[in-house]
């Protein structure tokens, strides 16, 4: 999905919510455990219930990989299901990959060509040749880690160099020579608050993928105040607060209600920002 189409989806549906499919077998409602693939059964129900309220889905690969071969089957089934039934939803594989060139090419082929995923999160530590192989596919995206939502983001990402440029700013600046706002986004944690203003000084037009509202405690209002652009420019992710809102047989209905609540806040904010 290209940038124009993503913006169109956001404006049409009045939401920029991304639902994180961090599906953990230990948290799937009891009654689904008798299904052949409980993870996929859970995801299908969550997707069907929340699709009207979001523009994107983001399975985090760690949750699937932790189940080995079975987990990969659940992941592939979920992506296939999304491609076949929800072609207007943006699919992000939250993989945080990043390896030397020949290896990154293999990942790119798998995720973009074979699985038709729209975007892949990538770690910047290894630099340009670990990122650029992912930028060779029209309509596909790299979402580069910039300033993450966790406590450890302070360990290295905030280190300033001799000119006062912090590592996350260097990542934002240098990576603009590798791609552009049509094939790159950045991960910025919702917990970073006012830092969004600093981010927008370096990348005024790029989309940002924002995890960390909900369970991690970031504020949607603050993210939008400092991070929203005229084209919205944000995909705000919520995982646990939506998909695990209810562990009974009514889990999907409750997830829909939670997603709707966030989407209504988003519609309100979009209108305030003349994106309504």
Provide the binding-site residues for a second copy, judged by CB under 8 A. 22, 24, 60, 62-63, 65-69, 72-73, 76, 96-101, 103-104, 106-107, 109-110, 114-115, 123-131, 145, 148-157, 159-162, 167, 170-171, 174
As measured in angstroms, the least distance from the Cβ of 91 to a second copy is: 15
CB-wise, 14 or 133, nearer to a second copy?
Answer: 133
CB-wise, 24 or 181, nearer to a second copy?
Answer: 24
Which tokens belong to 137?
């596919």
| 149 within 8 A of 190, measured Cβ to Cβ | yes
As measured in angstroms, the least distance from the Cβ of 269 to a second copy is: 26
| 276 within 8 A of 14, measured Cβ to Cβ | yes
As measured in angstroms, the least distance from the Cβ of 18 to a second copy is: 16
Q: Which long-range contacts (CB under 8 A, 24 or more apart) does 24-28 make?
A: 24/63, 25/67, 27/244, 27/247
| Cα distance between residue 16 and residue 26, in whole Å | 29
Q: Which of 96, 151, 170, 174 is catalytic?
A: 96
CB-wise, 13 or 170, nearer to a second copy?
Answer: 170
Please enumerate in sequence order all residues whose Cβ is within 8 A of that of 153, keeping only pairs 6 or more positions apart, or say none: 147, 189, 192
| Cα distance between residue 130 and residue 142, in whole Å | 11
| Cα distance between residue 233 and residue 213, in whole Å | 16
**96 is known as an active-site residue:** yes
CB-wise, 8 or 166, nearer to a second copy?
Answer: 166
Of 239, 230, 235, 226, the closest CA to residue 266 belongs to 235
As measured in angstroms, the least distance from the Cβ of 47 to a second copy is: 20
Catalytic machinery residues: 96
């Amino acid at each position: 999905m290209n940038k124009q189409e993503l913006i169109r989806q956001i404006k049409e549906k009045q939401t920029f919510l991304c639902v994180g499919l961090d599906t953990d077998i230990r948290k799937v409602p009891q009654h689904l455990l008798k299904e052949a693939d409980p993870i996929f059964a859970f995801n299908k129900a969550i997707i069907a219930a929340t699709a009207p309220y979001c523009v994107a889905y983001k399975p985090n690969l760690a949750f699937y990989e932790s189940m080995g071969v079975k987990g990969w089957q659940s992941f592939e089934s979920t992506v296939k299901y999304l491609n076949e039934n929800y072609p207007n939803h943006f699919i992000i594989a939250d993989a945080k990959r990043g390896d030397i060139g020949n290896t990154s090419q293999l990942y790119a082929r798998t995720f973009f060509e074979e699985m038709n995923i729209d975007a892949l999160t990538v770690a910047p530590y290894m630099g340009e040749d670990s990122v650029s192989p992912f930028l060779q596919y029209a309509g596909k995206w790299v979402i580069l880690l910039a300033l993450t939502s966790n406590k450890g983001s302070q360990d290295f990402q905030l280190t300033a160099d001799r000119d006062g440029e912090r590592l996350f700013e260097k990542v934002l600046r240098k990576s603009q020579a590798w791609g552009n706002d049509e094939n790159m986004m950045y991960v910025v944690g919702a917990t970073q608050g006012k830092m969004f203003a600093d981010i927008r000084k370096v990348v005024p037009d790029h989309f940002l993928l924002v995890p960390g509202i909900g369970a991690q405690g970031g504020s949607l209002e603050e993210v939008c105040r400092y991070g929203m652009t005229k084209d919205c420019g944000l995909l705000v992710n919520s995982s646990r607060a939506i998909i695990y809102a209810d562990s009974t047989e009514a889990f999907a209905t409750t997830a829909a209600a939670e997603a709707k609540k966030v989407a209504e806040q988003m519609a309100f904010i979009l209108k305030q920002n003349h994106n309504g």
